[in-house]
Chains A and B, each alone.
Chain A
Amino acid sequence: MPVTREQVIDFIYDEARMLDEGRYDEWLSLWLEDGHYWMPLDYKQTDPHLVTSLLYEDMFMLRLRVERLNGARTFSQKPKSRCHHVIQRPFIDEMREDRIVTNTSMHYVETRLDEQFLLALTAIHELAVVDGAIRIANKRVDILNSDAAFGNIQLLP
Protein backbone atom coordinates (compact mmCIF):
# COMPACT_ATOMS: atom_id res chain seq x y z
CA MET A 1 0.00 0.00 0.00
CA PRO A 2 1.51 3.36 -0.98
CA VAL A 3 2.13 5.83 1.82
CA THR A 4 0.17 9.07 2.13
CA ARG A 5 1.50 12.63 2.12
CA GLU A 6 0.56 12.89 5.76
CA GLN A 7 2.65 9.84 6.63
CA VAL A 8 5.64 11.36 4.82
CA ILE A 9 5.31 14.64 6.72
CA ASP A 10 4.91 12.82 10.03
CA PHE A 11 8.05 10.83 9.24
CA ILE A 12 10.14 14.00 8.92
CA TYR A 13 8.80 15.33 12.22
CA ASP A 14 9.38 12.00 13.95
CA GLU A 15 12.97 11.82 12.74
CA ALA A 16 13.72 15.28 14.16
CA ARG A 17 12.19 14.26 17.47
CA MET A 18 14.32 11.09 17.62
CA LEU A 19 17.47 13.19 17.19
CA ASP A 20 16.36 15.68 19.84
CA GLU A 21 15.61 12.89 22.29
CA GLY A 22 18.84 11.03 21.50
CA ARG A 23 17.06 7.89 20.29
CA TYR A 24 19.92 7.09 17.94
CA ASP A 25 19.48 3.34 17.56
CA GLU A 26 15.93 3.95 16.42
CA TRP A 27 17.22 6.70 14.15
CA LEU A 28 19.83 4.42 12.55
CA SER A 29 17.13 1.85 11.83
CA LEU A 30 15.38 4.40 9.61
CA TRP A 31 18.26 4.27 7.12
CA LEU A 32 18.75 2.06 4.09
CA GLU A 33 22.10 0.28 4.28
CA ASP A 34 23.62 2.16 1.30
CA GLY A 35 22.41 5.58 2.41
CA HIS A 36 24.60 8.68 2.86
CA TYR A 37 24.26 11.67 5.13
CA TRP A 38 25.69 14.67 3.27
CA MET A 39 26.39 18.12 4.68
CA PRO A 40 28.04 20.26 1.97
CA LEU A 41 30.69 22.83 2.78
CA ASP A 42 29.93 25.13 -0.12
CA TYR A 43 26.70 26.87 -0.99
CA LYS A 44 24.91 24.92 -3.74
CA GLN A 45 27.68 22.29 -3.83
CA THR A 46 26.96 19.58 -6.37
CA ASP A 47 29.83 17.11 -5.79
CA PRO A 48 30.32 15.24 -2.52
CA HIS A 49 33.48 13.43 -3.64
CA LEU A 50 36.15 15.67 -5.18
CA VAL A 51 35.81 18.72 -2.94
CA THR A 52 35.54 18.80 0.83
CA SER A 53 32.20 18.50 2.59
CA LEU A 54 31.44 18.91 6.27
CA LEU A 55 30.00 15.39 6.25
CA TYR A 56 29.50 12.67 3.69
CA GLU A 57 28.97 9.60 5.81
CA ASP A 58 28.02 6.04 5.01
CA MET A 59 26.30 3.73 7.50
CA PHE A 60 29.61 2.63 9.00
CA MET A 61 30.50 6.24 9.86
CA LEU A 62 27.00 6.98 11.16
CA ARG A 63 27.12 3.91 13.41
CA LEU A 64 30.57 4.96 14.59
CA ARG A 65 29.29 8.46 15.33
CA VAL A 66 26.37 7.09 17.36
CA GLU A 67 28.45 4.47 19.16
CA ARG A 68 31.09 7.07 20.04
CA LEU A 69 28.53 9.29 21.78
CA ASN A 70 28.12 6.60 24.43
CA GLY A 71 31.82 5.80 24.93
CA ALA A 72 33.52 6.03 28.33
CA ARG A 73 36.43 8.01 26.83
CA THR A 74 34.51 10.35 24.55
CA PHE A 75 36.06 13.44 26.06
CA SER A 76 34.31 16.05 23.94
CA GLN A 77 31.00 14.60 25.15
CA LYS A 78 31.75 14.97 28.85
CA PRO A 79 29.37 16.54 29.53
CA LYS A 80 27.07 15.59 26.67
CA SER A 81 25.63 17.99 24.10
CA ARG A 82 21.92 18.39 23.56
CA CYS A 83 20.10 19.53 20.44
CA HIS A 84 16.75 20.94 19.46
CA HIS A 85 15.06 21.17 16.05
CA VAL A 86 12.29 23.55 15.13
CA ILE A 87 11.04 22.50 11.72
CA GLN A 88 8.76 24.03 9.17
CA ARG A 89 6.16 21.86 7.46
CA PRO A 90 8.09 19.86 4.81
CA PHE A 91 7.54 20.50 1.13
CA ILE A 92 7.03 17.27 -0.78
CA ASP A 93 8.96 17.82 -4.00
CA GLU A 94 8.49 14.33 -5.43
CA MET A 95 5.93 11.69 -4.51
CA ARG A 96 6.38 8.50 -6.51
CA GLU A 97 6.01 4.90 -5.53
CA ASP A 98 9.77 4.27 -5.53
CA ARG A 99 11.04 7.71 -4.56
CA ILE A 100 9.87 10.51 -2.32
CA VAL A 101 11.79 13.77 -1.90
CA THR A 102 11.08 16.32 0.80
CA ASN A 103 12.57 19.74 1.50
CA THR A 104 12.38 21.00 5.07
CA SER A 105 13.55 24.29 6.60
CA MET A 106 14.77 24.02 10.17
CA HIS A 107 16.34 25.95 12.96
CA TYR A 108 18.78 23.71 14.77
CA VAL A 109 20.12 24.55 18.23
CA GLU A 110 22.96 22.67 19.90
CA THR A 111 24.22 23.26 23.40
CA ARG A 112 26.93 22.04 25.77
CA LEU A 113 28.20 23.61 29.00
CA ASP A 114 27.60 27.38 28.70
CA GLU A 115 27.72 27.46 24.91
CA GLN A 116 24.76 27.37 22.56
CA PHE A 117 24.56 28.01 18.83
CA LEU A 118 21.85 28.22 16.21
CA LEU A 119 22.06 26.95 12.63
CA ALA A 120 19.49 27.74 9.98
CA LEU A 121 19.35 24.88 7.55
CA THR A 122 17.49 23.04 4.84
CA ALA A 123 17.21 19.26 4.95
CA ILE A 124 16.49 17.34 1.78
CA HIS A 125 15.37 13.78 2.37
CA GLU A 126 15.28 11.11 -0.30
CA LEU A 127 12.93 8.49 1.03
CA ALA A 128 11.95 5.01 -0.09
CA VAL A 129 9.13 2.73 0.99
CA VAL A 130 10.31 -0.76 1.97
CA ASP A 131 7.78 -3.34 3.14
CA GLY A 132 5.28 -0.57 3.76
CA ALA A 133 7.69 1.47 5.93
CA ILE A 134 9.29 4.78 5.02
CA ARG A 135 13.10 4.64 5.06
CA ILE A 136 15.84 7.23 4.48
CA ALA A 137 17.72 6.56 1.24
CA ASN A 138 19.82 9.76 1.50
CA LYS A 139 19.76 12.96 3.49
CA ARG A 140 21.35 16.27 2.56
CA VAL A 141 21.63 19.11 5.03
CA ASP A 142 22.56 22.56 3.76
CA ILE A 143 23.57 24.98 6.49
CA LEU A 144 22.72 28.56 5.51
CA ASN A 145 26.22 29.76 6.47
CA SER A 146 28.03 26.51 5.66
CA ASP A 147 31.14 28.46 4.62
CA ALA A 148 31.47 30.20 8.00
CA ALA A 149 34.03 29.14 10.60
CA PHE A 150 32.42 26.98 13.28
CA GLY A 151 33.58 25.49 16.56
CA ASN A 152 32.52 21.92 17.26
CA ILE A 153 29.20 20.79 15.79
CA GLN A 154 28.89 17.49 17.63
CA LEU A 155 25.36 16.20 17.09
CA LEU A 156 23.44 15.72 13.87
CA PRO A 157 20.89 18.20 12.52
Chain B
Amino acid sequence: MRTASEITALFTGPQVHRDVYTSPEVYRLEMTHLFANTWVFVGHESQTPKKGDYFTTQIGDQPVIQVRHSDGEIYVLFNRCPHKGTKIAIDREGNTGKFFRCPYHAWSFKTNGCLLAIPLKKGYEDTGFEDSESAKGMTPVGAVRNYRGFVFARLAPEGIGFEDYFGGSLSSIDNMVDRSPEGRLEIAGPPLRYMHKCNWKMLVENQTDTCHPMVAHESSAGTAVNIWKEMGNPEPRPPAMEIIAPFMSPYEFFEKMGIRTWPNGHGHTGVHHSIHSDYSAIPGYFESLCETYGEERAKAILDENRHNTVYFPNIMIKGPIQQLRNFIPLGPDKTLVESYIYRLVGAPDQLLARTAMYNRMINAPTSIVGHDDLEMYERAQEGLMSNGMEWVNVQRLRTGDEEFDQEAVENGTTERQMRNQFDAWVKFMTVSMEDA
Protein backbone atom coordinates (compact mmCIF):
# COMPACT_ATOMS: atom_id res chain seq x y z
CA MET B 1 0.00 0.00 0.00
CA ARG B 2 1.10 3.56 -0.72
CA THR B 3 2.60 5.60 2.06
CA ALA B 4 1.52 9.06 3.17
CA SER B 5 4.37 10.67 1.26
CA GLU B 6 3.40 8.80 -1.90
CA ILE B 7 -0.17 10.00 -1.52
CA THR B 8 1.03 13.55 -0.91
CA ALA B 9 3.06 13.40 -4.12
CA LEU B 10 -0.10 12.84 -6.18
CA PHE B 11 -0.98 16.54 -5.89
CA THR B 12 1.70 19.05 -6.83
CA GLY B 13 -0.39 22.26 -6.83
CA PRO B 14 -0.70 22.89 -10.57
CA GLN B 15 -1.25 19.20 -11.34
CA VAL B 16 -2.87 16.10 -9.93
CA HIS B 17 -1.87 12.57 -10.85
CA ARG B 18 -4.38 10.46 -12.77
CA ASP B 19 -4.13 7.70 -10.13
CA VAL B 20 -6.49 9.73 -7.91
CA TYR B 21 -9.22 8.98 -10.47
CA THR B 22 -8.23 5.56 -11.78
CA SER B 23 -6.28 3.57 -9.19
CA PRO B 24 -8.23 0.88 -7.26
CA GLU B 25 -5.58 1.11 -4.54
CA VAL B 26 -6.01 4.87 -4.08
CA TYR B 27 -9.78 4.32 -4.05
CA ARG B 28 -9.41 1.73 -1.25
CA LEU B 29 -7.31 4.22 0.71
CA GLU B 30 -9.99 6.89 0.21
CA MET B 31 -12.59 4.57 1.67
CA THR B 32 -10.34 3.70 4.63
CA HIS B 33 -8.99 7.17 5.38
CA LEU B 34 -10.67 10.07 3.57
CA PHE B 35 -14.27 9.00 4.16
CA ALA B 36 -13.49 8.09 7.77
CA ASN B 37 -11.70 11.29 8.73
CA THR B 38 -14.05 13.83 7.13
CA TRP B 39 -17.61 14.86 8.01
CA VAL B 40 -19.79 13.22 5.38
CA PHE B 41 -23.43 14.02 4.64
CA VAL B 42 -25.87 11.28 5.69
CA GLY B 43 -29.42 12.60 5.21
CA HIS B 44 -31.93 15.26 6.19
CA GLU B 45 -33.75 15.06 9.51
CA SER B 46 -37.12 15.28 7.75
CA GLN B 47 -36.39 11.88 6.18
CA THR B 48 -36.76 10.41 9.68
CA PRO B 49 -39.27 12.70 11.41
CA LYS B 50 -40.86 10.20 13.86
CA LYS B 51 -39.37 7.86 16.45
CA GLY B 52 -38.36 4.60 14.81
CA ASP B 53 -38.14 6.16 11.33
CA TYR B 54 -35.02 5.10 9.51
CA PHE B 55 -33.26 5.77 6.24
CA THR B 56 -30.48 3.64 4.73
CA THR B 57 -27.55 5.10 2.84
CA GLN B 58 -23.77 4.89 2.81
CA ILE B 59 -20.78 6.91 3.92
CA GLY B 60 -18.06 6.13 1.42
CA ASP B 61 -18.51 2.40 0.98
CA GLN B 62 -19.93 1.88 4.47
CA PRO B 63 -23.62 0.96 4.70
CA VAL B 64 -25.29 3.00 7.45
CA ILE B 65 -28.74 3.63 8.92
CA GLN B 66 -29.96 7.06 9.97
CA VAL B 67 -32.61 6.45 12.65
CA ARG B 68 -34.71 8.55 15.04
CA HIS B 69 -34.29 7.07 18.54
CA SER B 70 -36.90 7.07 21.31
CA ASP B 71 -35.18 10.12 22.86
CA GLY B 72 -35.96 12.10 19.67
CA GLU B 73 -32.30 12.26 18.62
CA ILE B 74 -30.96 11.01 15.31
CA TYR B 75 -28.42 8.19 15.44
CA VAL B 76 -26.26 6.87 12.63
CA LEU B 77 -25.40 3.17 12.93
CA PHE B 78 -23.43 0.79 10.77
CA ASN B 79 -26.00 -1.33 8.93
CA ARG B 80 -24.75 -4.69 10.09
CA CYS B 81 -25.95 -7.23 12.62
CA PRO B 82 -23.19 -7.78 15.22
CA HIS B 83 -23.92 -11.51 15.00
CA LYS B 84 -23.32 -12.70 11.41
CA GLY B 85 -23.13 -9.43 9.51
CA THR B 86 -26.61 -9.42 7.98
CA LYS B 87 -27.80 -5.98 6.94
CA ILE B 88 -30.48 -4.97 9.42
CA ALA B 89 -32.49 -2.86 6.95
CA ILE B 90 -32.36 -3.03 3.19
CA ASP B 91 -35.33 -0.91 2.16
CA ARG B 92 -34.48 2.72 1.58
CA GLU B 93 -36.70 3.98 4.38
CA GLY B 94 -39.27 2.81 6.85
CA ASN B 95 -40.32 2.71 10.49
CA THR B 96 -38.97 -0.01 12.74
CA GLY B 97 -41.03 0.83 15.84
CA LYS B 98 -39.15 0.65 19.15
CA PHE B 99 -36.41 -1.71 18.02
CA PHE B 100 -34.57 -3.24 15.09
CA ARG B 101 -34.85 -7.00 14.74
CA CYS B 102 -32.42 -8.92 12.59
CA PRO B 103 -34.37 -11.14 10.17
CA TYR B 104 -31.77 -13.94 10.36
CA HIS B 105 -31.67 -15.00 14.07
CA ALA B 106 -33.94 -12.39 15.70
CA TRP B 107 -31.29 -10.54 17.64
CA SER B 108 -32.90 -7.24 18.50
CA PHE B 109 -31.52 -3.76 19.15
CA LYS B 110 -32.75 -0.48 20.52
CA THR B 111 -32.86 2.29 17.95
CA ASN B 112 -29.61 3.66 19.36
CA GLY B 113 -27.99 0.33 18.50
CA CYS B 114 -27.77 -1.21 22.00
CA LEU B 115 -28.39 -4.94 22.16
CA LEU B 116 -31.89 -5.59 23.47
CA ALA B 117 -32.39 -9.35 23.33
CA ILE B 118 -31.14 -12.61 21.85
CA PRO B 119 -33.31 -15.76 21.61
CA LEU B 120 -32.05 -18.70 23.70
CA LYS B 121 -29.73 -16.32 25.53
CA LYS B 122 -28.63 -19.07 27.88
CA GLY B 123 -26.62 -20.56 25.04
CA TYR B 124 -24.15 -17.75 25.61
CA GLU B 125 -23.78 -18.32 29.37
CA ASP B 126 -20.21 -18.95 30.44
CA THR B 127 -18.92 -18.29 26.93
CA GLY B 128 -17.47 -14.86 27.66
CA PHE B 129 -20.03 -13.38 25.27
CA GLU B 130 -20.62 -10.30 27.40
CA ASP B 131 -17.02 -9.25 26.78
CA SER B 132 -17.33 -9.65 23.00
CA GLU B 133 -17.78 -6.83 20.50
CA SER B 134 -21.09 -8.37 19.48
CA ALA B 135 -22.59 -7.84 22.94
CA LYS B 136 -22.44 -4.10 22.44
CA GLY B 137 -25.02 -4.25 19.68
CA MET B 138 -25.00 -2.34 16.41
CA THR B 139 -21.97 -0.08 16.13
CA PRO B 140 -22.60 3.67 15.98
CA VAL B 141 -20.42 5.82 13.73
CA GLY B 142 -17.71 7.93 15.34
CA ALA B 143 -19.63 11.18 15.61
CA VAL B 144 -22.93 12.65 14.40
CA ARG B 145 -24.05 16.26 14.04
CA ASN B 146 -27.46 17.54 12.98
CA TYR B 147 -26.84 21.04 11.60
CA ARG B 148 -30.11 22.86 10.92
CA GLY B 149 -31.66 19.62 9.73
CA PHE B 150 -28.69 18.29 7.76
CA VAL B 151 -27.18 15.20 9.35
CA PHE B 152 -23.43 14.70 8.97
CA ALA B 153 -21.27 11.94 10.40
CA ARG B 154 -17.60 11.23 10.93
CA LEU B 155 -16.87 7.51 10.87
CA ALA B 156 -13.65 7.82 12.88
CA PRO B 157 -14.21 8.06 16.66
CA GLU B 158 -11.44 10.68 16.93
CA GLY B 159 -10.74 13.53 14.58
CA ILE B 160 -11.54 17.08 13.58
CA GLY B 161 -14.62 18.66 15.17
CA PHE B 162 -17.67 19.65 13.12
CA GLU B 163 -17.24 23.44 13.45
CA ASP B 164 -13.51 23.30 12.79
CA TYR B 165 -14.12 21.18 9.74
CA PHE B 166 -16.81 23.32 8.10
CA GLY B 167 -16.10 26.78 9.53
CA GLY B 168 -17.53 29.63 7.44
CA SER B 169 -18.88 27.30 4.78
CA LEU B 170 -21.93 26.62 6.96
CA SER B 171 -23.21 30.03 5.81
CA SER B 172 -24.44 28.34 2.60
CA ILE B 173 -26.61 25.88 4.55
CA ASP B 174 -27.75 28.80 6.72
CA ASN B 175 -28.84 30.78 3.67
CA MET B 176 -30.72 27.82 2.21
CA VAL B 177 -32.61 27.21 5.46
CA ASP B 178 -33.18 30.92 6.16
CA ARG B 179 -35.07 31.12 2.87
CA SER B 180 -37.93 29.34 4.64
CA PRO B 181 -40.20 31.80 6.45
CA GLU B 182 -40.22 29.24 9.27
CA GLY B 183 -36.48 28.56 9.10
CA ARG B 184 -37.07 24.93 8.24
CA LEU B 185 -36.70 22.61 5.25
CA GLU B 186 -38.53 19.39 4.46
CA ILE B 187 -37.52 16.71 2.00
CA ALA B 188 -39.76 16.70 -1.11
CA GLY B 189 -40.00 13.19 -2.51
CA PRO B 190 -37.37 10.67 -3.50
CA PRO B 191 -34.09 11.70 -5.14
CA LEU B 192 -33.13 11.37 -8.76
CA ARG B 193 -30.61 8.52 -9.01
CA TYR B 194 -28.09 8.82 -11.82
CA MET B 195 -25.27 6.32 -12.41
CA HIS B 196 -21.93 7.53 -13.77
CA LYS B 197 -19.05 5.38 -14.93
CA CYS B 198 -16.41 7.76 -13.64
CA ASN B 199 -14.61 8.66 -10.46
CA TRP B 200 -16.63 10.57 -7.83
CA LYS B 201 -14.16 13.47 -7.71
CA MET B 202 -14.80 14.39 -11.36
CA LEU B 203 -18.38 15.19 -10.41
CA VAL B 204 -17.36 17.19 -7.34
CA GLU B 205 -14.83 19.20 -9.36
CA ASN B 206 -17.39 19.94 -12.05
CA GLN B 207 -19.57 21.75 -9.49
CA THR B 208 -17.21 24.73 -9.51
CA ASP B 209 -16.02 24.35 -13.10
CA THR B 210 -17.33 27.56 -14.65
CA CYS B 211 -15.55 27.17 -17.98
CA HIS B 212 -17.59 24.18 -19.18
CA PRO B 213 -21.28 25.27 -19.29
CA MET B 214 -21.12 27.35 -22.47
CA VAL B 215 -19.08 24.62 -24.17
CA ALA B 216 -20.42 21.26 -23.03
CA HIS B 217 -24.01 22.52 -22.78
CA GLU B 218 -24.18 24.48 -26.01
CA SER B 219 -26.39 21.79 -27.51
CA SER B 220 -29.06 22.27 -24.85
CA ALA B 221 -28.72 25.85 -23.60
CA GLY B 222 -27.64 27.30 -26.95
CA THR B 223 -30.40 25.51 -28.83
CA ALA B 224 -32.96 26.72 -26.27
CA VAL B 225 -31.91 30.32 -26.91
CA ASN B 226 -32.12 29.80 -30.68
CA ILE B 227 -35.59 28.28 -30.56
CA TRP B 228 -36.83 31.09 -28.35
CA LYS B 229 -35.45 33.67 -30.81
CA GLU B 230 -37.07 31.87 -33.74
CA MET B 231 -40.36 32.08 -31.85
CA GLY B 232 -39.92 35.87 -31.63
CA ASN B 233 -38.66 36.06 -28.00
CA PRO B 234 -42.08 35.43 -26.41
CA GLU B 235 -42.70 36.66 -22.85
CA PRO B 236 -43.15 35.34 -20.30
CA ARG B 237 -40.20 33.17 -21.22
CA PRO B 238 -40.79 29.43 -21.35
CA PRO B 239 -39.60 27.78 -18.10
CA ALA B 240 -36.74 26.12 -19.97
CA MET B 241 -35.38 29.55 -20.86
CA GLU B 242 -35.27 30.59 -17.21
CA ILE B 243 -33.59 27.38 -16.07
CA ILE B 244 -31.36 26.22 -18.94
CA ALA B 245 -30.52 29.34 -20.99
CA PRO B 246 -28.27 30.98 -18.31
CA PHE B 247 -25.79 28.14 -18.92
CA MET B 248 -24.94 29.94 -22.18
CA SER B 249 -23.81 33.08 -20.33
CA PRO B 250 -20.43 34.34 -21.64
CA TYR B 251 -17.11 33.77 -19.87
CA GLU B 252 -17.20 37.29 -18.53
CA PHE B 253 -20.40 36.50 -16.59
CA PHE B 254 -18.72 33.55 -14.89
CA GLU B 255 -15.50 35.49 -14.27
CA LYS B 256 -17.38 38.22 -12.43
CA MET B 257 -19.55 35.77 -10.53
CA GLY B 258 -16.61 34.93 -8.26
CA ILE B 259 -15.48 31.83 -6.37
CA ARG B 260 -14.98 31.64 -2.61
CA THR B 261 -12.91 28.92 -0.97
CA TRP B 262 -12.87 27.91 2.68
CA PRO B 263 -10.33 25.70 4.47
CA ASN B 264 -10.75 21.90 4.36
CA GLY B 265 -11.88 21.71 0.76
CA HIS B 266 -15.15 23.65 0.87
CA GLY B 267 -16.03 26.40 -1.57
CA HIS B 268 -18.70 27.95 -3.76
CA THR B 269 -19.31 29.67 -7.05
CA GLY B 270 -21.59 32.71 -7.32
CA VAL B 271 -20.17 35.17 -4.79
CA HIS B 272 -21.54 38.32 -6.47
CA HIS B 273 -24.30 36.93 -8.70
CA SER B 274 -25.04 33.62 -10.40
CA ILE B 275 -27.15 31.79 -12.96
CA HIS B 276 -29.86 31.72 -10.27
CA SER B 277 -30.00 35.52 -9.90
CA ASP B 278 -32.63 36.29 -12.52
CA TYR B 279 -35.42 33.94 -11.55
CA SER B 280 -38.83 35.57 -11.58
CA ALA B 281 -40.31 36.61 -8.23
CA ILE B 282 -42.99 34.36 -6.72
CA PRO B 283 -46.01 36.38 -5.50
CA GLY B 284 -46.32 36.50 -1.71
CA TYR B 285 -42.94 34.96 -0.96
CA PHE B 286 -40.95 38.10 -0.19
CA GLU B 287 -43.83 39.39 1.95
CA SER B 288 -43.85 36.24 4.07
CA LEU B 289 -40.06 36.42 4.50
CA CYS B 290 -40.40 40.05 5.61
CA GLU B 291 -42.95 39.03 8.24
CA THR B 292 -40.42 36.65 9.75
CA TYR B 293 -37.18 38.58 9.36
CA GLY B 294 -38.06 42.21 8.61
CA GLU B 295 -37.46 43.74 5.22
CA GLU B 296 -33.74 44.41 5.50
CA ARG B 297 -32.83 40.90 6.59
CA ALA B 298 -35.25 39.34 4.08
CA LYS B 299 -33.55 41.27 1.29
CA ALA B 300 -30.11 40.20 2.50
CA ILE B 301 -31.19 36.54 2.48
CA LEU B 302 -32.51 36.74 -1.09
CA ASP B 303 -29.53 38.80 -2.29
CA GLU B 304 -27.28 35.80 -1.75
CA ASN B 305 -27.40 33.91 -5.03
CA ARG B 306 -24.71 31.36 -4.35
CA HIS B 307 -24.57 28.94 -7.22
CA ASN B 308 -22.94 25.67 -6.13
CA THR B 309 -21.49 25.14 -2.68
CA VAL B 310 -19.25 22.10 -2.35
CA TYR B 311 -19.02 20.53 1.08
CA PHE B 312 -15.93 18.39 0.85
CA PRO B 313 -15.71 15.54 0.23
CA ASN B 314 -18.84 14.68 -1.69
CA ILE B 315 -21.93 16.88 -1.65
CA MET B 316 -23.05 20.06 -3.34
CA ILE B 317 -25.95 22.29 -2.36
CA LYS B 318 -27.75 25.04 -4.24
CA GLY B 319 -29.19 27.47 -1.70
CA PRO B 320 -31.39 29.49 -4.06
CA ILE B 321 -33.19 26.39 -5.29
CA GLN B 322 -32.98 24.13 -2.24
CA GLN B 323 -31.21 21.24 -3.86
CA LEU B 324 -28.55 18.82 -2.58
CA ARG B 325 -26.54 16.44 -4.74
CA ASN B 326 -24.76 13.52 -3.12
CA PHE B 327 -21.87 12.00 -5.11
CA ILE B 328 -21.68 8.51 -3.70
CA PRO B 329 -18.53 6.55 -4.60
CA LEU B 330 -19.17 2.96 -5.69
CA GLY B 331 -15.74 2.22 -7.16
CA PRO B 332 -12.76 4.04 -8.69
CA ASP B 333 -14.76 4.38 -11.91
CA LYS B 334 -18.35 4.27 -10.64
CA THR B 335 -20.39 6.98 -8.91
CA LEU B 336 -24.05 7.18 -7.97
CA VAL B 337 -25.43 10.71 -7.91
CA GLU B 338 -28.53 11.27 -5.81
CA SER B 339 -30.19 14.66 -6.29
CA TYR B 340 -32.57 15.71 -3.51
CA ILE B 341 -34.90 18.68 -3.31
CA TYR B 342 -36.41 20.37 -0.25
CA ARG B 343 -39.53 22.38 0.48
CA LEU B 344 -39.10 25.77 2.14
CA VAL B 345 -41.63 25.31 4.93
CA GLY B 346 -44.09 28.22 4.89
CA ALA B 347 -43.21 29.39 1.36
CA PRO B 348 -45.53 29.28 -1.68
CA ASP B 349 -45.66 26.01 -3.64
CA GLN B 350 -44.43 27.73 -6.83
CA LEU B 351 -40.94 27.81 -5.34
CA LEU B 352 -40.92 24.06 -4.87
CA ALA B 353 -42.36 23.62 -8.37
CA ARG B 354 -39.41 25.56 -9.79
CA THR B 355 -36.99 23.51 -7.70
CA ALA B 356 -38.51 20.24 -8.94
CA MET B 357 -38.34 21.54 -12.50
CA TYR B 358 -34.67 22.46 -12.11
CA ASN B 359 -33.90 19.03 -10.73
CA ARG B 360 -35.51 17.14 -13.63
CA MET B 361 -34.27 19.53 -16.35
CA ILE B 362 -30.64 19.47 -15.21
CA ASN B 363 -29.92 16.43 -13.04
CA ALA B 364 -32.05 13.53 -14.31
CA PRO B 365 -30.69 10.60 -16.32
CA THR B 366 -33.20 11.85 -18.90
CA SER B 367 -31.89 15.45 -18.82
CA ILE B 368 -30.42 16.90 -22.00
CA VAL B 369 -28.02 18.88 -19.80
CA GLY B 370 -26.99 15.87 -17.73
CA HIS B 371 -26.37 13.84 -20.89
CA ASP B 372 -23.47 16.02 -21.97
CA ASP B 373 -21.96 16.20 -18.47
CA LEU B 374 -21.97 12.42 -18.15
CA GLU B 375 -20.47 12.18 -21.62
CA MET B 376 -17.55 14.40 -20.55
CA TYR B 377 -16.88 12.50 -17.30
CA GLU B 378 -16.97 9.09 -18.94
CA ARG B 379 -14.74 10.23 -21.82
CA ALA B 380 -12.30 11.60 -19.22
CA GLN B 381 -12.34 8.35 -17.26
CA GLU B 382 -11.47 6.44 -20.45
CA GLY B 383 -8.99 9.07 -21.68
CA LEU B 384 -7.06 8.99 -18.41
CA MET B 385 -6.06 5.41 -19.18
CA SER B 386 -3.86 6.85 -21.95
CA ASN B 387 -0.16 6.56 -21.11
CA GLY B 388 0.61 9.59 -23.23
CA MET B 389 0.37 11.77 -20.13
CA GLU B 390 -0.03 10.94 -16.44
CA TRP B 391 -1.06 14.29 -14.99
CA VAL B 392 -4.27 16.33 -14.97
CA ASN B 393 -3.95 20.10 -15.13
CA VAL B 394 -5.70 22.27 -12.49
CA GLN B 395 -3.54 25.33 -13.00
CA ARG B 396 -6.06 27.95 -14.15
CA LEU B 397 -5.45 31.31 -12.39
CA ARG B 398 -2.87 29.82 -10.04
CA THR B 399 -0.18 32.30 -9.18
CA GLY B 400 2.62 30.70 -7.20
CA ASP B 401 2.20 28.64 -4.06
CA GLU B 402 -1.22 28.88 -2.49
CA GLU B 403 -2.36 28.72 1.11
CA PHE B 404 -5.75 27.16 1.62
CA ASP B 405 -6.11 27.71 5.37
CA GLN B 406 -7.72 31.13 4.88
CA GLU B 407 -11.01 32.03 3.22
CA ALA B 408 -10.43 33.61 -0.20
CA VAL B 409 -12.56 35.17 -2.95
CA GLU B 410 -11.23 35.10 -6.50
CA ASN B 411 -12.15 35.41 -10.16
CA GLY B 412 -15.01 33.05 -10.93
CA THR B 413 -13.13 31.04 -13.53
CA THR B 414 -10.27 30.02 -11.25
CA GLU B 415 -9.61 26.35 -10.58
CA ARG B 416 -8.58 27.24 -7.05
CA GLN B 417 -11.52 25.38 -5.55
CA MET B 418 -10.40 22.18 -7.29
CA ARG B 419 -6.92 22.70 -5.86
CA ASN B 420 -8.48 23.45 -2.49
CA GLN B 421 -10.24 20.09 -2.65
CA PHE B 422 -7.01 18.26 -3.42
CA ASP B 423 -5.23 20.09 -0.62
CA ALA B 424 -7.92 18.81 1.76
CA TRP B 425 -7.82 15.40 0.06
CA VAL B 426 -4.13 14.99 0.89
CA LYS B 427 -4.69 16.22 4.44
CA PHE B 428 -7.53 13.85 5.30
CA MET B 429 -6.07 10.91 3.38
CA THR B 430 -2.78 11.02 5.24
CA VAL B 431 -3.77 12.22 8.73
CA SER B 432 -4.48 8.65 9.86
CA MET B 433 -1.69 6.95 7.90
CA GLU B 434 1.08 5.53 10.03
CA ASP B 435 4.03 7.23 8.39
CA ALA B 436 2.29 10.63 8.33
Q: A53's closest neighbor in chain B, by CB?
A: B360
A10 within 8 A of partner (CB): no
Decide yes or no: A51 and B189 within 8 Å by CB, A149-B194, A152-B374 being known contacts.
Answer: yes
Rounded to whole Å, the gap between the CB of B185 and the closest CB of chain A is 14
Cβ of A154 and Cβ of B371 under 8 Å apart? yes
| Tally of chain B residues near chain A (CB < 8 A) | 47
Q: Is A42 a contact partner of B219 (Cβ separation < 8 A)?
A: no
Partner of A52 from B219, B228, B238, B360 at Cβ < 8 Å: B360
Interface of B is mostly: helix
Which of A51, A53, A64, A148 is in CB contact (< 8 Å) with B240?
Answer: A64
The yes or no answer to A3 lying at the interface (CB within 8 A) is no
Q: Report which of A50, A67, A147 forms a contact with B349, defined as CB distance below 8 A.
A: A50
User: Are B240 and A60 in contact, CB atoms less than 8 angstroms apart?
Assistant: yes
Q: Chain B residues near A52 (CB, 8 Å)?
A: 188-192, 339, 341, 356, 359-360, 364
From residue 51 to 88 of chain A, which have CB atoms closer than 8 A to chain B? 51-56, 58, 60-61, 63-65, 67-68, 71, 73-77
CB of A147 within 8 A of CB of B193, answer yes
B197 in contact (CB, < 8 A): yes
- State which of B192, B218, B238, B349 has its C-beta within 8 Å of the C-beta of A41: B192
A: contact size bracket: 20 to 34
The answer on a CB contact under 8 Å between B372 and A76 is yes
Min Cβ gap B336→A in Å is 5
Listed residue (B193, B239, B366) with the most chain A CB atoms within 10 angstroms of its CB? B366
A150–B343 Cα distance when bound, in Å, is 25
B376 sits at the interface (CB 8 A): yes
Once the chains bind, are A64 and B368 in contact (CB under 8 Å)? yes
Min Cβ gap A149→B in Å is 4
User: Given A68-B223, A150-B194, is A76 in contact with B364 using a C-beta cutoff of 8 Å?
Assistant: no
> With a CB–CB cut-off of 8 A, which chain A residues contact B193?
147-150
B269 contacts chain A at the CB level, 8 A cutoff: no
B409 within 8 A of A: no
| Chain B, range 365-384, C-beta contacts under 8 Å to A | 365-366, 368, 370-372, 374-376
Residue in B216, B366, B375 whose beta carbon sits within 8 Å of that of A55 in the complex:
B366
Which of chain B's residues have a CB closer than 8 A to the CB of A136? none
Residues of chain B whose beta carbon lies under 8 Å from any beta carbon of chain A: 188-197, 216, 218-220, 222-224, 226-228, 238-241, 244, 336, 339, 341, 343, 349, 352-353, 356-357, 359-361, 364-366, 368, 370-372, 374-376
